[in-house]
Structure 1
Amino acid sequence: MGDSDNTTTLPSVTRRQVLAGTIAATTTWTLEGSASAGDAGRGYAPGDPALALWREWQAACKLTEQLCRKQQRLETRLVESVGFPCVTVRLSAGEDVTIHTLEALKDVLGKGREMAALRDEAEAAFVAHQARWDAAAEEGGYTAARRAEREAGKRAQDLMEALSTTPATTLAGVAGKFDAVLREGEAWAESSEFPWPQIRSALSDLVRMVQEKLHE
């Protein structure tokens, strides 16, 4: 069964809204302009390691989202053609229960001898359905797309960690750090609560300062 956990998307992807919102778009435009200006005398030298990491992180996030959308499209086709691996069993009370994992199957049917035949039959049906899913996922490209998404998501996480420990040498680099924290944090928490409004305000101030330097 390997990589088939029947989860539609990774949490880091489903909860992240990459490049969403006016502030994110403005920050991106401003920091890209700063990085390409190449004027060390104005305080936004392109050699800022934090700014360089921010750009790599942003690219990794974009790629992760693109791959997420691709694997979601492939998964939709897979569900329509094969269906999520599952088995439906009828309990002694006459109730039909659809089960999606072997662990859940064992929990529902227990380990008693009286359920052994039903349990063996249900397990065999589930394993067969899982095998059909795995084969179709491999053939249709879903397995590869999911693996690529995970790798891209892991790279984005690694870059975020590196960014948090890399000193910024310019205002643009500081703004990039704020931008990454804001977008990552807002995707996981209620964005109207502390400290996100305060961070948005500080980021807006930094972006304005960078813009002013760009036009000096």
Structure 2
Amino acid sequence: MADSENSRTLPAITRREENFENGAIEKLPYVIDRRNLLPVAARFLSARIADPNGPRRASGPTPVREMWPRWYARHKQLLEATRFRQKLEAEMLEQAGGFPVAELQIVGSNQPVVVHSFAELNRLTQVDADQLSRSRTELRQRRKQWKKADKHLGYSDAVTLEQELARHLGILGRVMWITRPSCLIEITAKFHCLIVTHDPGLKLEEAPWPELRTMLRDLMRMEERAGETRACRSSLEAS
């Protein structure tokens, strides 16, 4: 089936420039599957929402079609911030020699106990005094190395930025979900936001996620046909 979610066929997708003045907007690929669903949806939404022939804003609350571009821009910022934080984290681990933690081997446990603070160490009543002393020294030294690397690389600032972007993105997404859509493209935008937020890897198999991914594709196809109808009607009226 051409539109099967598990289809292994992936046609080439060209990134043509949208020509809004002539009413020509990039066509959807014949096959939309897991590997291209979200990027295709993002390009499709960006083109349709920016279309000057689309619906005009009425007075009242901010519509979904104005929220989605802001949300998607913040989403891309978060992805970039996460990649940067991960890069810095790898450099931090190399410079500091590991995370600022201490490991203790407790009798009767097959796995070492990892502690992140002195308070956690003090709660380990089953550990003898000598081992606690060595672990405090280890934790203190690892923290010192971590802080030194952090001062050089700015890792804490990168973590804070990533968390702030994630918080703002969550707020934008929740507001968009509770905003009533006024047209098909706004429903499509809400579906895209929902799936990106909860199933970004398109891996969830339990209901309703496979069905929601199918519905996102269906909405894009419906909007594409509706757009073609509008363009044809406008052409006839202008002739």
Normalising by the smaller structure, the TM-score range is 0.7 to 0.9
How far apart, in 2, do the equivalents of 1:31 and 1:90 lie? 54
Q: Which has the higher helix share?
A: 1
Match of 2:52 among 38, 60, 63: 38
Q: Do structure 1's residue 170 and structure 2's residue 186 form an aligned pair? A: no
Partners of 1:50 and 1:173 within 8 A in 2: yes
Q: How does 1:45-60 map to 2 (within 5 A)?
A: 45=56, 49-60=63-74
| TM-score, L = length of structure 1 | 0.75
| Unaligned ranges ≥5, structure 2 | 1-33, 232-239
Deviations 1:159-190 (A, max 9, x none): 11111111112211110001111222224995
Please state how far the C-alpha of 1:21 moved relative to its aligned partner: 3.5
Q: Do structure 1's residue 129 and structure 2's residue 145 form an aligned pair? A: no
Aligned length: 190
Please state how far the C-alpha of 1:128 moved relative to its aligned partner: 2.8
Match of 1:86 among 80, 101, 105: 101
Please state how far the C-alpha of 1:86 moved relative to its aligned partner: 2.8
Residue 198 of structure 1 aligns to which amino acid in structure 2?
Answer: E
Corresponding residue SS for 1:38: coil
Q: Do structure 1's residue 99 and structure 2's residue 86 form an aligned pair? A: no
Corresponding residue SS for 1:28: helix
Residue 39 of structure 1 aligns to which amino acid in structure 2?
Answer: N
Which structure's CA Rg is the greater one? 2
| TM-score, L = length of structure 2 | 0.68
Deviations 1:19-61 (A, max 9, x none): x842212221221111121224xxx446771122122111111
Partners of 1:99 and 1:105 within 8 A in 2: no
Higher relative contact order (CA 8 A, sep 6+): 1
Please state how far the C-alpha of 1:158 moved relative to its aligned partner: 0.7
Partners of 1:90 and 1:97 within 8 A in 2: yes
How far apart, in 2, do the equivalents of 1:124 and 1:135 lie? 17
How far apart, in 2, do the equivalents of 1:200 and 1:92 lie? 50
Please state how far the C-alpha of 1:200 moved relative to its aligned partner: 1.8
Identity of aligned residues (%): 21
How far apart, in 1, do the equivalents of 2:181 and 2:107 lie? 66
How far apart, in 1, do the equivalents of 2:156 and 2:224 lie? 44
Q: Tell me the residue number matched to 1:153.
A: 166
Moved more, 64-73 or 204-213: 204-213
Q: Tell me the residue number matched to 1:66.
A: 80
Corresponding residue SS for 1:39: coil
Moved more, 203-212 or 63-72: 203-212
Please state how far the C-alpha of 1:63 moved relative to its aligned partner: 0.9
Corresponding residue SS for 1:79: helix
How far apart, in 1, do the equivalents of 2:39 and 2:200 lie? 16
Q: Do structure 1's residue 185 and structure 2's residue 203 form an aligned pair? A: no
Moved more, 22-31 or 187-196: 187-196
